[in-house]
Copies of this chain bind each other. A is one copy, B any other.
Amino acid sequence: MHNIKVDINFAVKSSLKSGLDSIEIDEYKDKANIGYQKLLKLVDKGDIGFPKLVDQALDNITAYAKKKLGKFNDLVVVGIGGSSLGLEAIVNALLPHGYNSLTFSERGGFPRIWIADNVDPYKIQWIMKNCQPSDTLVCVISKSGGTVETVSNFNILYKWLSEEVEKPKDHIIVITDPEKGLLRKWSEENEIDTFFVPKNVGGRFSVFSPVGLVPASLLGLEIDKMIEGAKDFIATNLQQALVLSAIYIFYIEKGYKINVLMPYTSRLSKFADWYCQLWAESLGKRYDKDGKEIFFGTTPLKSVGAIDQHSLLQLFKEGPDDKVFTFIEVLNHDADKKIVSVMDEEVDYLKGKSLGELLNYELYATELALKNANRPSVKIVTDIIDEYRLGYLMMLFMYVVPIVGLYFNINPFDQPGVEEGKNYAYGLLGLRGFEDYIKKFEQGYLKLDEYII
């Protein structure tokens, strides 16, 4: 059973001047419900598939992971955006800090993990230098099967594998669309182990598909628990998504421009990055569903407590009142450590305090300081961090974001704005069919020397 709560005290009128009064709470829950009903319809029609992932059988994934256990020292995941951010969130939350520096046996025979996301030569080079081809499993992930960064990095890594190992195909897994795309065609022709992303599950909603689950399982994480958490959220706590959506809709309507997610734990740092993609790509839209030009969307901002009290908090408290804050509190921090002796009596007050206690005190202090400055905040409180809770939290936000988008009559499941840049890049790379874009590029990309200083 979960123990996750959503606390909206500091976003309601009784605490905060700009907060929702009790009539508004109902009114905005109704608005959230409009979004939710639209989402339900899309799910029922089969257009949107991420909520159904909680019912999938996991045996083929766990059996595959079991078969590979102990055979590889390194797992290199080649993927970008929706194909890597979910996994990074999982790894950051659930594996030890400095995991890749542990020995094979300290890791329980599970591989180290490397994420080849960017086409950054330096990063790719050092991943290859850190790994031995003979001891490496390469997991290449692209929903479309043709993501240019992923295909490029994979080509480099494939060559690296082929030059050193006899059967490179035993060192590769593909995760892609069941039918379409280059990767599928190639994996079929070459009889490569392949897992599929359901057609109705988009990249940023794919963490509970093989995209997130296969690598997580290879790393020894309990993916069944993750799915159980996600499932329990849907079964018993949708109300939390409605309340959270209601608050976000309210402040978007009030003109707040920035949505800050600030977990008070370093373990959810990458979770916040995952959330930023989910929010930005789902809600930043030029047109609504009726084709009206609206340039919609607020900007997600990642922040990690207590670190960013020494970085962003000054702006949060004293800058413009244009941000809504969502804190995440962990009640019981794993491996919490008490300060039992202190170096100087000046800090005697720390004696007997634990690091986790201190971290949570700092959160309460920040909550109150922001409240006093009339800045709205909500807080998600979880008892601990584990597979179950992470699954729960991810599904919670995968409901919240589309609910907000659908209420505002935009399509939270597409990303038309990224096409133009892709087309220019294809043109510059010389892909056939994109010659027009070279011309357009040459006409538009004019740089005058006088403006280069």
A43-51, A206-214, A303-311 - interface stretch: A303-311
Residues 347-376 of A at the B interface (beta carbon under 8 Å): 347, 349-350, 353-356, 358-359, 361-362, 364-369, 371-372
Residues 145-165 of A at the B interface (beta carbon under 8 Å): 146-149, 151-156, 158-159
A418 touching B314 in the complex, CB below 8 Å, given contacts A6-B453, A424-B368: yes
Of the candidates B15, B281, B343, the one whose C-beta lies within 8 Å of that of A155 is: B343
Q: Bound complex: CA of A367 vs CA of B424, how far in Å?
A: 10
Q: Could you tell me if A339 and B257 are in contact, using CB atoms closer than 8 angstroms? A: no
A42 contacts the other chain (CB 8 A): no
Q: Could you tell me if B310 and A80 are in contact, using CB atoms closer than 8 angstroms? A: yes
- Residues of chain B within 8 A (CB-CB) of A277 are 310-312
Q: Could you tell me if A243 and B417 are in contact, using CB atoms closer than 8 angstroms? A: no
Q: Could you tell me if A306 and B6 are in contact, using CB atoms closer than 8 angstroms? A: no
In angstroms, how far is the closest chain B Cβ from the Cβ of A259?
11
A315 touching B284 in the complex, CB below 8 Å, given contacts A97-B126, A126-B97, A267-B120: yes
Q: Could you tell me if A453 and B367 are in contact, using CB atoms closer than 8 angstroms? A: no
Q: Could you tell me if B344 and A320 are in contact, using CB atoms closer than 8 angstroms? A: no
Q: Could you tell me if B452 and A359 are in contact, using CB atoms closer than 8 angstroms? A: no
Q: Bound complex: CA of A266 vs CA of B117, how far in Å?
A: 9
- Residues of chain B within 8 A (CB-CB) of A120 are 265-267, 333, 355, 359
Q: Could you tell me if A362 and B425 are in contact, using CB atoms closer than 8 angstroms? A: yes
* A118-157 interface code vs B (CB 8 A; 1 in, 0 out): 1111111111011000000000000000111101111110
Q: Bound complex: CA of A159 vs CA of B124, how far in Å?
A: 39
A441 touching B368 in the complex, CB below 8 Å, given contacts A310-B82, A339-B156: yes
Q: Could you tell me if A452 and B365 are in contact, using CB atoms closer than 8 angstroms? A: no
A191 contacts the other chain (CB 8 A): no
A31-39, A62-70, A217-225, A428-436 - interface stretch: A428-436
Number of A residues with CB within 8 Å of any CB on chain B: 151
A421 contacts the other chain (CB 8 A): yes
Of the candidates B117, B266, B312, B313, the one whose C-beta lies within 8 Å of that of A118 is: B266
A193-201, A226-234, A294-302 - interface stretch: A294-302
Of the candidates B243, B283, B296, B424, the one whose C-beta lies within 8 Å of that of A453 is: B243
Q: Bound complex: CA of A265 vs CA of B452, how far in Å?
A: 21
In angstroms, how far is the closest chain B Cβ from the Cβ of A299?
6
Q: Could you tell me if A366 and B421 are in contact, using CB atoms closer than 8 angstroms? A: yes
A295 touching B309 in the complex, CB below 8 Å, given contacts A122-B265, A155-B343: no
The residue of chain B having its C-beta at the shortest distance from the C-beta of A153 within the complex is B355
A8 contacts the other chain (CB 8 A): yes
- Residues of chain B within 8 A (CB-CB) of A261 are none
Q: Bound complex: CA of A300 vs CA of B133, how far in Å?
A: 40
A297 touching B315 in the complex, CB below 8 Å, given contacts A155-B347, A369-B421: yes
A85 contacts the other chain (CB 8 A): yes
A235 contacts the other chain (CB 8 A): no
14 new A-B contacts at CB < 8 Å, known A101-B101, A316-B417: A119-B355, A120-B355, A122-B267, A182-B346, A277-B312, A280-B319, A281-B314, A284-B314, A295-B320, A297-B320, A299-B315, A317-B421, A353-B429, A361-B425
User: What are the nearest 8 A-B pairs in CB distance?
Assistant: A81-B310, A284-B315, A297-B319, A365-B424, A284-B319, A277-B311, A286-B318, A97-B126
